[in-house]
Amino acid sequence: MSIGMNKNTVLGWATLIMIIMGLLLIGLGIYRYADVAGWGFAAVGIGFLANAWVFNALKGRV
């Protein structure tokens, strides 16, 4: 029961979800939490974007 999800498609969806989550966390850090907690949210968001970059780089090689 395959719906056409090969490894590259899964990595593509994971990349998209991680970009959205990274931008959301950075936005929360900037707009919602203006104190020290905002730095943590922004750092985690940058980490999500870095992971999405790695997933995107792996997309053609797996």
How far lies 49's CA from each of 1, 5, 29, 30, 31, in Å? 32, 23, 14, 16, 18
Evaluate if pTM is beyond 0.95. no
Give domain status of residue 2, yes or no: no
Give domain status of residue 1, yes or no: no
Give domain status of residue 12, yes or no: yes
- The count of structural domains within the chain is 1
The answer to whether the beta carbons of residues 23 and 45 sit under 8 Å apart is: yes
Q: What is the pLDDT of residues 18-43, one digit of tens each?
A: 999 999 988 888 888 878 888 888 89
Is the pLDDT at 1 greater than 50, yes or no? no
Range of the domain at 14: 7-58
For residue 60, the one-letter residue type is: G
Give domain status of residue 14, yes or no: yes
Q: What is the pLDDT of residue 20?
A: 93
Task: Tell me the pLDDT band of 2, cut-offs 50, 70 and 90.
Answer: low
Give domain status of residue 34, yes or no: yes
Angle 32-54-30 (CA atoms, 0-180°, nearest 5)?
10
The answer to whether the beta carbons of residues 10 and 55 sit under 8 Å apart is: no
